Amino acid sequence: MAFLRIALTGLACLFYSLQVSSQEAFADHRPRLLLDTEIGSETSLGYKLPSTAFGPSVEIPVAKRMEFQVSSAYSPDRKAITNDGNSLKLSGSAISFANHRVGLIATIERNWLWTSQFDKSAWLPSAGVVIRDDGRLYLTYLLPTGCVWATPSNPCRIQSNRLQGLEIRQDVRSRSHTRWGLRAGFYRFCDQGNPNDPQAGRKCHFAATTLVTLRFEFHLGGRSLSPSLNPSESDNF
């Protein structure tokens, strides 16, 4: 009887340990709500110091290797040329991971700027790679869009700056619900000119921006149990 009790106790302990380890090996695919803030400098893009923005975003893991992100950000930054202004950004991204560490990302962003002298809006598409290690490193290239010269079908009342360049973003989780990060950009853009006079041309510049980010993270819903072969994938941030 003593041997039977010992054997049953051993089997119970083994079953419990296997159950716990299997739960730890399951990936967490719950959506994540983030409250984002950032502060830094975008003076080379024509904004006064400091540059700030805040807003919510959502990360939605799908299956093992897909993720969708939706974000919005409001900024009270003032344009140097008008000494006032504010802006709003809405964006959506799709990430496809080739493995646990490396993925491809495509993003489309809509940007609105309002000042006392003019209003502007633009589409800002970008594409690049995401690298996961202790955090996430995003390397993307912003593609230029918008009209430059007036045509019979498009009067092009306000020229596009044709903003383009490399964007780098690093996110690191410092606690279970806190992420710190750095966002930097290296751009080329052009001044406003006369859209009805292509021969006059216009002057273009290079710019660099740097912002520090702080994000508060909240998981939505109950824990989703999807098997993961790698224990390090139990949290797919």
For residues 140 and 105, is the Cβ–Cβ distance under 8 A? yes
User: What's the domain range around 73?
Assistant: 26-222
pLDDT in tens, 78-137: 999 999 999 999 999 999 999 989 999 999 999 999 999 999 999 999 999 999 988 999
Specify the pLDDT at position 193: 86
- CATH classification of the domain holding 33: 2.40.128.100
Specify the pLDDT at position 2: 52
Reading the block at residue 134, the tokens are 């202790």
Mean pLDDT for the chain overall: 86
In a domain, 7, yes or no: no
In a domain, 3, yes or no: no
In a domain, 227, yes or no: no
For residues 189 and 162, is the Cβ–Cβ distance under 8 A? yes
- The pTM score is 0.82
Best CA proximity match to 45, nearest among 193, 194, 200, 185: 185
In a domain, 166, yes or no: yes
Distance, CA of 8 to CA of 114 (rounded, Å): 72
Number of domains in the chain: 1
In a domain, 108, yes or no: yes
pLDDT in tens, 180-229: 999 999 999 999 888 999 888 899 999 999 999 999 999 987 665 555 54
In a domain, 231, yes or no: no
Peptide bond between residue 50 and the one before it cis (omega within 30 degrees of 0)? yes
In a domain, 236, yes or no: no
Contacts for 48 with CB less than 8 Å, ≥ 6 apart: 77, 78, 79, 80, 83
Q: How far is CA 32 from the centre of its chain?
A: 13
In a domain, 30, yes or no: yes
